[in-house]
Amino acid sequence: MRGLVLEAHPGRLGPEKTKTLGEWLARAGFVLRREEHERYLYFSREPAELPATWSFDRVANHFEDHIERSLPGYRDGHDLICRAMDSFLRDDSRVYELGCATGALARAILARQADRPGLRYVGIDTSERMVEIARRRSDGDVRAEYRVADAAETVLEPCSVVVSYYTLQFVPLRHRGRIVLRIYDGLEPGGAFFLFEKVRQDDTEREVMAAEWLHRFKRDRGFSWAEIRAKDRALEGVLETQTAGENEAMLRDAGFDTVVPIAQWIPFQGWLAIRHRG
């Protein structure tokens, strides 16, 4: 259905009820186009706002603005990882980021490690457009290398740190255990893996509450209900969440025996997993 006309005199409904009705329908994907007729409220679906499937290539141009308004603490997470990473780096360390997008975290890491000319950062992403933008924004920093590649196919060279900041959730579940195993194998003894994921809650009540909080966060940052709903739909089957317990079990199964939760904003969580020495 593209359009819906309700015989509901806006003047009689009053602003509060009209707003509630508008919000209720917006959650179902309708946009209110009202006051065109004194007696009817007219709602329609916005086809442009309802992409069938999510595409990172398509959002690449405005990715950082988009994610800051969609992901609570996006920059705070970068800051935390950058600071925590200090303890695991040497002057000639190699750092991998799986799903580097436009290179925002890479730039933060490299700026903090400005006095380490021998450091190497390797960013991997399946989106050509993201990688193109990341390269352009890296401002000729020779320590940074960006590759168009799939995390599921990548074998890591020996490294001190690996980061997956909201990326593994986009990789089909059947590949994740193998990827984490390769990360463990690629890390030098004492190396660190930072994993940040959207997590599924343990029960439906908490899942609904988490979704509502996140929707409100996005509303407060200027997204319409229709846009929020459209994105939720587009991500169905693309973003596959695991519970916090499942993520921790995945890390332990790969061999990490230190697995520490370091950040949480329901429904987002971050862990530091350390490969032990010897």
Ligand X SMILES: C[S@@+](CC[C@H](N)C(=O)[O-])C[C@H]1O[C@@H](n2cnc3c(N)ncnc32)[C@H](O)[C@@H]1O
- By CB under 6 A, residue 152 contacts ligand X: yes
**Residue number with CB closer to ligand X (1 or 155):** 155
Q: What are phi and psi of 110, to 5 degrees?
A: -70, -30
- Shortest distance in whole angstroms from residue 170 CB to ligand X: 4
Q: What are phi and psi of 89, to 5 degrees?
A: -105, 145
Contact 41, 30 (CB under 8 A): no
Pick the closest to residue 169 from 239, 274, 219 (CA basis). Answer: 239
- Shortest distance in whole angstroms from residue 136 CB to ligand X: 15
User: Please, which of residues 88-117 interact with ligand X by CB under 6 A?
Assistant: 98-101, 104-105
Contact 207, 200 (CB under 8 A): yes
- Shortest distance in whole angstroms from residue 17 CB to ligand X: 38
- By CB under 6 A, residue 248 contacts ligand X: no
Count of residues of this chain found to bind ligand X when the rule CB under 6 A is applied: 20
Contact pattern from residue 38 through residue 67 relative to ligand X, giving x for each residue in contact according to CB under 6 A and a dash for the rest: ------------------x-----------
Place of tokens 């003047």: 11
Place of tokens 């003894």: 189
| Pairing mode of beta strands 159-165, 120-125 | unpaired
User: Please, which of residues 165-204 interact with ligand X by CB under 6 A?
Assistant: 165-167, 170-171
Contact 260, 243 (CB under 8 A): no
Contact pattern from residue 212 through residue 231 relative to ligand X, giving x for each residue in contact according to CB under 6 A and a dash for the rest: --------------------
**Residue number with CB closer to ligand X (31 or 168):** 168
Peptide bond into 267 cis (omega under 30): yes
Which positions lie near ligand X, rule CB under 6 A?
56, 98-101, 104-105, 124-127, 130, 150-152, 165-167, 170-171
